[in-house]
Structure 1
Amino acid sequence: MTVTNRFLSNINKYNLIDKNDTIIIGSSGGPDSQFLIYLLNEIKNEYNLTIILAHLNHLHRKEASFDEKLVIDTGEKLGLKVEVRKASMDEFAKVNKISPEDAGRRLRYEFFNDIASSYRNSKIAVAHNMDDQAETMLFRMARGTGLDGLAGMDYKNKNIIRPILSFKKSEILEYLKQNNISYAIDATNLENDYSRNYIRNEIFPKISEINPNAINNFFNLSDIIKNDLAIIDEVIDKKYKEIVINEKDYFVKFDKEEFEDISYPIKTRLIRIAIFKLTGDTKNISKENIEDFINIENLQTGKKIIKDKLVFQKNYNSYELMVLNREQNDSVIKKINLDEEIVFNGRKIKTSIVFEKKEKLKNIGYFDLDKISFPLTVRTRENGDKFRPLGMNHKKKLKDFFIDEKIDKSIRDQIPIILSNDDIIWIAGYRISEQFKVDSGTKNILKIEVEDD
């Protein structure tokens, strides 16, 4: 199979490109990106592609201007548009207290995405190859990773595509030589300042001495792991839906009995899924962090395990994973008049006059309208709150009421407390006040509904 046919096979097999796409190619001037540019240019007319060469000058090496010129010359030769941006990765690294390597990666993808946002049907093509995949796997293995990390890079990840992931570096260099295609050499790749360079320059040559097919074998292992993960993910996703009883953008709640009943390996993956849903990343979550979270089963109800901004809490009937310091879009205190609707803490609250009590639902409360003053106040609990729960002849501390009703600590601060003047008339969804109940002497009835927004 020719190089071009293998390239097309990747595109079709992994659904990387559609007709009429705009492809932004990360163009460093190096051999991998030059290889990618020429192959995409070969199929440009077949797919009716708009191709843009995006070059970020890191201002890191004296040869940087030569790399930039090479990309510009390549664009002119092939009739492709070129976008260039200059940004110091060393300065960015210093300001953000990260490695220069990480700084360069962040700056590049920010640049690529800026261009992509200006075009419909845009994709970012990067020139990672088989050698890069093997290096990534070994790097992650040394740093500490699970199956997800060992799966390596994907051919497609959102708007990023890697069409030459199945090509070895030696094949790329041979193609460029046969077709007399110029490319730049990044001398820093030959240095061992970065851990990846050390793996590339020192470790893999030694591994290849043991087995010349080592890079192929790493790549094949990546594919095997991806296939196995697809099976695992299908099972775990099903279990996740069975066990999660509530989730929003700032918390995930697992059924306590169900969670405790599943095996340890499934618990670890469920927690990782929940963390990813809440934060979009599990990169800084270690095996030990997950073990700490799961060990909460041995603690008393109400106890928490905290990792950075993540909190895993044991409740009466659930285990809840939460993100701390979430931004609240609603005011702490709101007012509501008769025949009005407001939104408070993600819930709709509506008031109206009715002629009789009908629905007996937790989210609906009925009150003696003539005992109530408007506007009503809606807020969350405060220290010292007391009220007279329905059926009682004395007031009770709200804190004691929550404890007696086994209301989880994690949701107590989210419950709407509705007051007339300074008197609590309803702990919304839980208990109305004896003072404001509908009785035989009631002439006008106030109905309050509370629903998730």
Structure 2
Amino acid sequence: MTKDLFNIFKNHISNNLAFLKESRLLIAISGGIDSVVLVHLCHELSLNMALAHCNFNLRGKESDGDEDFVIQLADSLDIEAFTESFDTQGYANQYKISVQMAARELRYFWFDELAQQLKFDYILTAHHADDNLETFLINFSRGTGLDGLTGIPPINNKFVRPLLPFSREQIVDYAKANELVWRVDSSNASTKYLRNKLRHEVIPILKEINPSLLQSYQSTINNLSDATDIVEDHLEQFFQEAVVSMEENKMVFKISEFKKQNNPRAYLFETFKDYGFTEWNDALNLLDAQSGKYILSNTHRLIKHRNNLLLSEIIPSELVEILVNDISEEIETPFGLICFSSIDEISDNSATSIYVDRALLKFPLLIRQWKVGDLFYPFGMKGRKKVSKYFKDEKLSLLDKESTLLLCSDNNIVWIINRRADNRYRVTKETKEILKIELK
């Protein structure tokens, strides 16, 4: 089979990835055996390609040696090579992530940027069947759903993995039979990383138990992929019924649609798994919790609001305090422009505009977020009311409350912006100048 690997690869490209023959390709190459074999196979097929190598500067002279090797390989094959040097450790420290995650983010961002700038159609990586099995075991050991058990996708947007059907053994045999030269990454021998521990200690035992492990795994992958297709078809129908609205900063789901399912927890998992949530019993309890209760992931918040669940991204809140010195200014706020204009006649007050007695305002005005204890006199009423009580009566969600701003004069509320004016600043028969304040 080793001698025929090129022919098997050639048939695989023709039968499953024929679009690569007519495309401009960028091959990600580390200098290791897998990517070197991929380069040689693609070169033998006369594919239109160039190489891209990342120097992560994590292994001193060894890293520089990898870069030199890739450049020499490209010269020997008369193909173009691109290299980029990264401060991987600095990036990991800055964003407080592991070195492995930093390297992954840096390389994929650069590959994508390179492909866009230089018009490469696809980016090829050298993942193979053993990598796929390792990924399966990593996801399995950490806990995952069907998606995490179906392995590395052969095609993922611009990224294509032509070697995915082939084993590490086939790749090594091909490289030796063709007397190829490659670089050995010394860090691959260390078992302090989970992937290496699985590769060197766990998978050999599994292969000893079942010599056909990769074939058995591929059969499992095929079965799981078929099951995933069925689940996705059903989930698409569920989402059509469950989603109330999708806005830029939030999604709203009907709680009743989750509750009518035989296993609401499973539907919660499939709906919200991509947003960083992990405590699915807490999510299940949210269905019957009081309005306003919520759970958090590192990136998102899921809130119970009356009969709905509200999903929103967690955005670090910035203290909003904007001074308004003159009515000739257009004031920019996070939710639009506040504009002032003197007019002769008024129409009914609305959510987006109010009319006030100019003489009653004391400048500078202040636009700020609401806080507990704020009071105002709702327009059309004589008595005062807590802003928090007004929010409750209006049945505002936690997200709506957090996005509400107040326009204030001398510490008094003039307008709950975009919601309700204060009665103390209303236009009367004694008003000499009418000021229109509008949110655009």
* TM-score computed with the length of structure 1 as normaliser: 0.77
Q: Give the deviation of 1:431 after TM superposition.
A: 2.8
Paired residue for 1:206?
Answer: 205
SS at match of 1:392: coil
Q: Indicate how the Cα distance of structure 1 residues 253 and 439 shifts in structure 2: closer, same or farther if over 3 A, else same.
A: farther
SS at match of 1:60: coil
Whole-angstrom CA distance in 2 between matches of 1:302 and 1:57: 46
Alignment of 1:427 onto 2:427: no
Paired residue for 2:39?
Answer: 37
Whole-angstrom CA distance in 2 between matches of 1:51 and 1:22: 6
Whole-angstrom CA distance in 1 between matches of 2:201 and 2:15: 33
1:67-99 deviations in Å (ceiling 9; x for gaps): 445433321210123344566878877888766
Paired residue for 1:293?
Answer: 283
Alignment of 1:416 onto 2:405: yes
Q: How does 1:274-353 map to 2 (within 5 A)?
A: 275=275, 282=276, 285-286=277-278, 289-308=279-298, 310-326=300-316, 328=318, 331-333=320-322, 335=324, 342-351=331-340, 353=343
Q: Indicate how the Cα distance of structure 1 residues 102 and 181 shifts in structure 2: closer, same or farther if over 3 A, else same.
A: same
Alignment of 1:145 onto 2:144: yes
How many residue pairs get aligned? The number is: 430
Q: Indicate how the Cα distance of structure 1 residues 63 and 301 shifts in structure 2: closer, same or farther if over 3 A, else same.
A: closer
Code of the residue aligned with 1:21 in structure 2: it is R
1:104-150 deviations in Å (ceiling 9; x for gaps): 54554466456546523364322100111012102221222211211
Q: How does 1:363-374 map to 2 (within 5 A)?
A: 363-368=351-356, 373=361
Whole-angstrom CA distance in 1 between matches of 2:96 and 2:28: 25
Alignment of 1:4 onto 2:10: yes
Paired residue for 1:385?
Answer: 374
Whole-angstrom CA distance in 2 between matches of 1:450 and 1:156: 47
1:263-310 deviations in Å (ceiling 9; x for gaps): 33222222224x2xxxxxx4xx43xx2322332234322233334454
Q: Indicate how the Cα distance of structure 1 residues 80 and 445 shifts in structure 2: closer, same or farther if over 3 A, else same.
A: same
The worse-fitting range, judged by mean Cα deviation, of 134-143 and 418-427 is: 418-427
Q: How does 1:434-449 map to 2 (within 5 A)?
A: 434-437=423-426, 448-449=437-438
Whole-angstrom CA distance in 2 between matches of 1:221 and 1:124: 27
Q: How does 1:49-198 map to 2 (within 5 A)?
A: 49-56=48-55, 58-60=57-59, 67-84=66-83, 101-102=100-101, 104-106=103-105, 108-109=107-108, 112=111, 115-116=114-115, 118-121=117-120, 123-186=122-185, 189-190=188-189, 192-198=191-197
Percent of residue pairs bearing the same amino acid type: 28
Whole-angstrom CA distance in 1 between matches of 2:179 and 2:110: 30
Q: Give the deviation of 1:406 after TM superposition.
A: 2.9
SS at match of 2:31: coil
Contact 2:352/2:419 (CA < 8 Å) preserved in 1? no
Whole-angstrom CA distance in 2 between matches of 1:130 and 1:5: 17
Alignment of 1:265 onto 2:254: no
Code of the residue aligned with 2:308 in structure 1: it is S
Q: How does 1:243-254 map to 2 (within 5 A)?
A: 243-247=242-246, 250-254=249-253
Q: Indicate how the Cα distance of structure 1 residues 232 and 448 shifts in structure 2: closer, same or farther if over 3 A, else same.
A: farther
Contact 1:310/1:324 (CA < 8 Å) preserved in 2? yes
Whole-angstrom CA distance in 1 between matches of 2:344 and 2:160: 59
Contact 2:28/2:52 (CA < 8 Å) preserved in 1? yes
1:397-451 deviations in Å (ceiling 9; x for gaps): 2222223333233322311323455543432343333344567888986655546
Contact 2:207/2:213 (CA < 8 Å) preserved in 1? yes
Contact 1:33/1:127 (CA < 8 Å) preserved in 2? yes
Contact 1:57/1:65 (CA < 8 Å) preserved in 2? no
Contact 2:321/2:368 (CA < 8 Å) preserved in 1? yes
Whole-angstrom CA distance in 2 between matches of 1:42 and 1:380: 65
Contact 1:75/1:82 (CA < 8 Å) preserved in 2? yes
* TM-score computed with the length of structure 2 as normaliser: 0.79
**How much is the aligned-residue C-alpha RMSD, in angstroms?**
3.9
1:328-367 deviations in Å (ceiling 9; x for gaps): 5x94325396687544223344555485537x8x634443
Contact 2:378/2:421 (CA < 8 Å) preserved in 1? yes
